Amino acid sequence: MLELVDVRVAYADNVAVDGVSLTFGDHETVALLGPSGSGKSTLLRAICGLEPLAGGRIVLDGRDLADVPVHERHFGLMFQDYVLFPQRDVRGNVAFGLEMRGDARATIERRVAEVLALVGLSGYGQRRITELSGGEQQRVGLARALAPTPQLLMLDEPLGALDRALRERLLDDLAALFAELSLPIVYVTHDQEEAFTLADRVVIMRDGRAVATATPAALWSCPPDAWTANFLGFHNVAEADVENGIAHTPWGDISLGSALSGSCTVVLRAEALTLDPAGNIHGTVSARTFRGDHVRVLVMTQAGAPLELEVRGGLPVEIGQKVSVAVDETRVNVLH
């Protein structure tokens, strides 16, 4: 079990990681999800020992790692854009950690073949790094990190540099691979789809802090705060005053179906909204974009705030058209 206790990393005058406390279970995949600059990559580097801590402790199975140098931690790290050794071929890259461990030549060859098979690159040993495609380099990076059987595997935006189609395919491969490995895995990404697909638990990072930790399902159904809701891609997020179960939002009054009062944040997710002549929010269509299986429609409400919704089925909507929007009160998120 890996524990981070109030970990801080600071450069000259800015704090990159600010008091992060987290626990990683033994067979758990945890995603660190956050926008770029939120400190997630720095946190990975700190766990590896590549960044000195300005405060806090990193504890592995009860042992403080403060005095354990990088090369004695036996962690696996896969870098963003992989950072493969250009002067070594595929075999040489994968074998590096094994050579450092002082394995016998035959053991190395066996393990290299095994790991290359695991990532689907059997027979690629003699290839030069420069001859590989982006996806192949990604797999070599993964194989290199896995070869010395690390006690913790960390991946820093492993799919970030790839194009969309390849990313989706590799995402499935990674999910299958993670299920097969029984290792604690820390997966850094800015992409919620990756995080939700792969992780048992998602940690939201913001400005160097871990602001929320939850399972993907819990996080999706109930984002903890307005910022997280926005980051997860919910566009209709607003402050509201609630009186007797009626929220006075910038879009208009919305019934919450419960007798709440006070101020809160209201999240109207796309599935809570439908175009319905009986709806009680009125407005004008100001933009629409075709998204394949749905049309994204932006409605400027009479109250003066834009509201975004997804329209499925062949309902024609024209810009400038007056519409009414109905809200499914059971699917409204209210955050305090």
Interface positions with other proteins (CB under 8 A): 11-12, 45, 48-50, 52, 69-77, 79, 83, 85-87, 96-97, 100-101, 128, 130, 144-145, 148
Angle of helix 164-180 relative to helix 134-146, nearest 10 degrees, comes to 20
Nearest residue (CB) to other proteins, 8 versus 288: 8
Among residues 206, 152, 185, 232, the alpha carbon closest in space to that of 39 is found at 206
35 token code pair:
């926008």
**With respect to other proteins, which residue has the nearer C-beta, 69 or 316?**
69
Q: Which of 136, 26, 174, 147 is nearest to 76 (CA)?
A: 147
* Distance of closest approach, residue 56 Cβ to other proteins, in angstroms: 17
Nearest C-alpha neighbor of 154 from the set 162, 144, 163:
144
Residues 217, 61: contact at Cβ < 8 Å?
A: no
Residue among 209, 292, 230 nearest 17 (CA): 209
Which residue, 77 or 247, is less far from other proteins as judged by CB? 77
**Shortest distance (Å) from residue 75 CB to other proteins:** 6
The rounded distance, in Å, linking the Cα atoms of 127 and 123 is 9
Closest to other proteins by CB, 96 or 220: 96
What's the closest the beta carbon of residue 44 comes to other proteins, in angstroms? 10
Distance CA 167, CA 206 (A): 24
Compute the CA torsion angle 237, 242, 245, 251 (nearest 10 deg). -40
Q: How far is the CB of 260 from other proteins (least distance, A)?
A: 50
- Nearest distance from residue 100's CB to other proteins, in Å? 4
Nearer to other proteins, 66 or 100 (CB): 100
Q: Which is nearer to other proteins, 15 or 238 (CB)?
A: 15
CA dihedral 291, 293, 298, 303 (to 10 degrees): -160
- The distance of closest approach from Cβ of residue 71 to other proteins in the complex, given in angstroms and rounded to an integer, is 5
User: Looking at beta carbons only, is 103 or 168 nearer to other proteins?
Assistant: 103
Of 231, 155, 142, nearest to 191 (Cα)? 231
Determine contact, residues 271/236, Cβ cutoff 8 Å.
no
Cβ 151 to other proteins shortest distance, Å: 12
**CB nearer to other proteins: pick between 89 and 194:** 89
Closest C-alpha to 197, from 233, 172, 167: 172
Closest contact distance (angstroms) between CB of 21 and other proteins is 23
